[in-house]
Amino acid sequence: MGSSGVQIVCVSLGILGLVGAIVCCAIPRWKVTAFTGQSIVIAQSVEEGLWMNCVVQSTGQQQCKKYDSLLMLSADLQAARGMVIISCMLCSLCLLMLFAGADFTTCVENESAKAKISLVAGIGLILGGLLVIIPVSWSAHNTVRDFNDPLVVASRKRELGACIFVGWAAGGLLVLAGGLLCCFSKVKSGGSPGAAKYYSNGGASAPNKNYV
């Protein structure tokens, strides 16, 4: 099983990744206004997220409005809602499991059970990271595609928001934490080495193959 130091690092990476996933879910900065016009005087900018869109004035005033209907969202943001929420829930559960099965805690005494719990937590963190990386990558692809599409009017063009980059970082941290756990959590195979040694030395309980 992995050392306590590796598990502490994995817990830290997992917590940072979970915080990043929560930020992506809550902050409305998945897509922002792309200023492609000739005017250098910008009166306002638009920011779009999973739950609301906001208009930020040049004076710093910000007004946000929740989406009236789920159908108003594009397909990538609709999928991102569910995937990011599932990722946050899965990562929270895996971190709790990791605390229970880590070497630096005494919640579980059995060493083999600790290794299995850490392995399951590592697989869950990898899945949670992928559930963040996939929607932010999908949204980034659609944003870049629409930005380069000459048929899309300039007022409808968007750029990558900060949440896209935070999501990539969060997903990478979660995948890294899960990968380290999977590498250092080795489940011991069953069987008793002491018993095998006893039999190999001709113990009293060793099977006798000489029958009369």
Cα distance between residue 179 and residue 102, in whole Å: 15
Indicate the helix (H) or strand (E) that contains 48: strand 44-48
Look at residue 169 in the predicted model and tell me its pLDDT: 96
In this predicted structure, which of 8-12, 95-99, 153-157, 162-166 has the lowest mean pLDDT? 153-157
Q: Yes or no: say if 175 and 129 are a contact pair by the CB < 8 Å rule.
A: yes
User: Which amino acid does the sequence have at 78?
Assistant: Q
Q: What is the mean pLDDT of residues 149-159?
A: 84
The residue that leads in pLDDT, 128 or 42, is 128
Cα distance between residue 91 and residue 89, in whole Å: 6
What is the DSSP annotation of 72-130? GS-HHHHHHHHHHHHHHHHHHHHHHHHHHHSTT--S---HHHHHHHHHHHHHHHHHHHH
pLDDT band at 104 (very low <50, low <70, confident <90, very high): confident
Q: What is the mean pLDDT of residues 35-57?
A: 76
- State the chain's mean pLDDT as an integer: 81
Look at residue 59 in the predicted model and tell me its pLDDT: 77
Q: What is the pLDDT of residues 52-90, one digit of tens each?
A: 989 888 777 888 888 888 777 788 888 999 999 999 999
Look at residue 133 in the predicted model and tell me its pLDDT: 96
Q: What is the mean pLDDT of residues 145-172?
A: 89
Q: Does residue 124 have a pLDDT over 50? A: yes
- How far is C-alpha 5 from the chain's CA centre? 21
Q: What is the pLDDT of residues 176-199, one digit of tens each?
A: 999 998 888 765 544 444 434 443
Residues facing residue 134 across a β-bridge: none
Q: What is the mean pLDDT of residues 36-65?
A: 78
Indicate the helix (H) or strand (E) that contains 6: helix 4-26
Cα distance between residue 64 and residue 67, in whole Å: 10
- Which CA distances in Å does 168 have to 32, 75, 100, 107, 147? 17, 19, 28, 33, 20
